[in-house]
Amino acid sequence: MDRPAAQVPSPQDGFSSNVVNARSIMKRPEEPCSFIIFGASGDLTHRKLIPALYNLACDNLLPPEFQVYGFAITPMNDESFRKDMEEAVRNSKEASPFDLRVWHGFAKRLHYITADFEAPDGYKQLQEKITSYVKEKNIPDNRLYYLATSPTFYELIVSKLGEHGLVTPDYACGTQWTRIVVEKPFGHDLHSAQALNASIHKVFKEEQVYRIDHYLGKETVQNILAFRFANSIIEPIWNRRYIDHVQITAAETLGVEHRGAYYESAGCLRDMVQNHLFQLLSVICMEPPVRYEGTSLRDRKADVLRAVVPINPENLADIAVRGQYGPGFIAGQPVVGYRQEPGVNPQSNTETYVALKLFVDNWRWADVPFYLRSGKRLAAKCTEVVIQFKRVPHLFFQLSAEDQIEPNLLIIRIAPDEGIALRFEAKVPGPEMVLRSVQMNFSYSETFKVSPATAYETLLLDAMIGDTTLFNRADQVELSWAIIEPLLEVWSATRPFQPFPNYAAGTWGPAAADALIARDGRAWHNVPVSTAPQKAPQVSVELTGEPIGVRRAQMPQKGQKEES
């Protein structure tokens, strides 16, 4: 289904012409909806789902007759579930300020079923509760199921939904729909992802399935599409002729926190690279879609994954580095190493850092290296895409042998301090031709004066509306697993080349990752640690780097005659 056109608010709506409130242009779903959360007593429900739904309630964006049915094994009733969720919203950093009046209206919509995912009782209760409500209200029985459990239950729950007749085809009899949102991780490797897709397709049609990757709901990731395809100056230079290489970084200062047990079976390659980093790679590399809607957009993104040059297990050392953090310091505070984290094997060889060099073998990108890296407990929280342009072909400024003009950089900051920066060379004011790199910054929050909706708000709303544009399709998930499959196989079968831990918490990762990019005569773009959390001004020009002077001998000195 098409993504609805954004309604741009006018000055009469209280906005100046270029200040847009993100939520004011979100569309309220028109059709009633029952939202069923499997795993409602879990972490995701507390941290993401309920705060996002509450925010939508604050902005009056929930559908009419919206009801939530929590379903989990932890014993609770409607009342204790509501209390628990109230606490979750009050404690959430992502939730709008707590408003008792909104909360009362929202809490009435929350219900809970204590049940085992295997036994029929819970599914029967669920069916009874929903059907009695929709009959009483005389509304269509639209359902959005959400799998927020451990992935080990996904196939079981889907098959039980089918077995108990709780799934109708989308718009059965033209009036009602059933959809399912599947959380990541979607599979553990290519084989398990294919098996999960096959199990889901026995019960749901592909158009009913919403595979979530929260990176796609981020404003800044969607803004990459706007930046690339709504600005005519970008397209002519967005290719191998002008771009030297691309770096995609998702660096975190956080460790594995309380998720040691999960992380032990996942590692950074599965947790971040296969999904989030490949999503960024896809939006950076994709060809222009015909329209901004699910099929066109996802076709073009899948083309990118199809074009990634397969990883050759024979030369892994040249293109991939894995790392694991040891003890160190984050923001001046000592932190333990990964092997000392709760739930982690003290001999663990699970990677908490990955650096990869990939190529996208198509007309636009042939021979342009894409360097991807992600890691926990790194020096700064920073998710960004850096496009480094080629150097100018000829320099008529004559520089000394040590001086090098910096190449232009386009930095797309996904988080924090969302925005875009362009680095270029400028003449330093004065009589001599002295060059220096300067940086022009665009800051999302400063310019639009709005806190963007969280990724989950956007994505939940889209699923209720029936817009698949920002969700993963079966083929995309399988293609991205296929890319990393050779790495998964080799890394699970072999010990790391350099024994773990191989980087200290609070640094930029293993030395081998610096060597990987240095071999190509390049270097990682590391944000300065001290300034990383600071807000950049709205649109500004900052001085960066050192001044580069043209050799004085080449410049006519004051009072000296120019040669004719």
The tokens for 336 are 């333990």
For Cα atoms 60, 63, 68, give the angle at the middle one, nearest 5 degrees.
105
| Nearer to ligand BG6 among residue 15 and residue 186 (C-beta) | 186
The residue type of 423 is R
Neighbours of 14 (CB within 10 A): 10
Q: How far apart are CA 24 and CA 525, in angstroms?
A: 36
Residue 27 CB, shortest distance to ligand BG6, in Å, is 24
- The 8-class DSSP code of residue 148 comes to -
Residue 374 CB, shortest distance to ligand BG6, in Å, is 9
| Nearer to ligand BG6 among residue 103 and residue 508 (C-beta) | 508
| Nearer to ligand BG6 among residue 415 and residue 532 (C-beta) | 415
Residue 558 CB, shortest distance to ligand BG6, in Å, is 54
Residue 182 CB, shortest distance to ligand BG6, in Å, is 14
Chain-centre distance of CA 173, in angstroms? Answer: 37
Strand partners, 410: 387, 422
Residue 46 CB, shortest distance to ligand BG6, in Å, is 15
Q: What x-and-dash track marks residues 10-49 binding ligand BG6 by CB under 6 A?
A: ----------------------------------------
Residues in 343-402 at the binding interface with ligand BG6, rule: CB under 6 A = 383
Residues in 542-561 at the binding interface with ligand BG6, rule: CB under 6 A = none
Residue 381 CB, shortest distance to ligand BG6, in Å, is 8
How do strand 178-182 and strand 320-323 relate by DSSP bridges?
Answer: unpaired
Residue 328 CB, shortest distance to ligand BG6, in Å, is 18
Residue of minimal CB distance from ligand BG6? 271
Q: Which of 245, 276, 394, 525 is catalytic?
A: 276
| Nearer to ligand BG6 among residue 208 and residue 374 (C-beta) | 374
Q: Is 443 in the site for ligand BG6 (CB under 6 A)?
A: no
| Nearer to ligand BG6 among residue 72 and residue 268 (C-beta) | 268
Residues in 270-289 at the binding interface with ligand BG6, rule: CB under 6 A = 271
Q: What x-and-dash track marks residues 489-528 binding ligand BG6 by CB under 6 A?
A: ----------------------------------------
**Residue 188 bears catalytic tag:** no
Single out the residue of 399, 393, 395, 392 nearest to residue 432, CA to CA: 399
| Nearer to ligand BG6 among residue 383 and residue 388 (C-beta) | 383
DSSP secondary structure of 511-564? HHHHHHHHTTT----PPPTTTTTSPPPSEEEEE-S--EEBPGGGSPPTTPPPP-
- Given a contact cutoff of 8 angstroms between Cβ atoms, the answer to whether 112 and 40 are in contact is yes
| Nearer to ligand BG6 among residue 271 and residue 462 (C-beta) | 271
Residues in 253-272 at the binding interface with ligand BG6, rule: CB under 6 A = 271
- Given a contact cutoff of 8 angstroms between Cβ atoms, the answer to whether 269 and 491 are in contact is yes
- The 8-class DSSP code of residue 275 comes to I
| Nearer to ligand BG6 among residue 140 and residue 267 (C-beta) | 267
| Nearer to ligand BG6 among residue 151 and residue 337 (C-beta) | 151
- Given a contact cutoff of 8 angstroms between Cβ atoms, the answer to whether 301 and 284 are in contact is no
| Nearer to ligand BG6 among residue 80 and residue 345 (C-beta) | 345
Single out the residue of 58, 183, 72, 89 nearest to residue 125, CA to CA: 72
Of 155, 244, 252, 384, the one binding ligand BG6 by CB under 6 A: 252
259: phi > 0 → left, psi -120 to 50 → alpha, else beta; which? alpha
Q: What x-and-dash track marks residues 413-432 binding ligand BG6 by CB under 6 A?
A: --x-----------------
Chain-centre distance of CA 412, in angstroms? Answer: 13
DSSP secondary structure of 316-377? HHHHEEEE-EESEEETTEEE--GGGSTT--TT----SEEEEEEEB-STTTTT-EEEEEEESS
Place of tokens 């773990």: 500
Over the range 158-183, which residues count as b (16 or more CB within 10 Å of their CB) and which as e? bebbeeeebbbebeeeeebbbbbbbb
Q: How far is CA 262 from CA 60, 185, 188, 443, 470, in A?
A: 36, 10, 12, 35, 26
- The 8-class DSSP code of residue 29 comes to P
Q: By rule CB under 6 A, what count of residues binds ligand BG6?
A: 5
Residue 338 CB, shortest distance to ligand BG6, in Å, is 13
Residue 161 CB, shortest distance to ligand BG6, in Å, is 25
Q: What x-and-dash track marks residues 312-341 binding ligand BG6 by CB under 6 A?
A: ------------------------------
Residue 5 CB, shortest distance to ligand BG6, in Å, is 27
How do strand 353-359 and strand 320-323 relate by DSSP bridges?
Answer: antiparallel
Please report, as ranges, the residues that interact with ligand BG6 according to CB under 6 A.
250, 252, 271, 383, 415
As annotated, the active-site residues are: 276
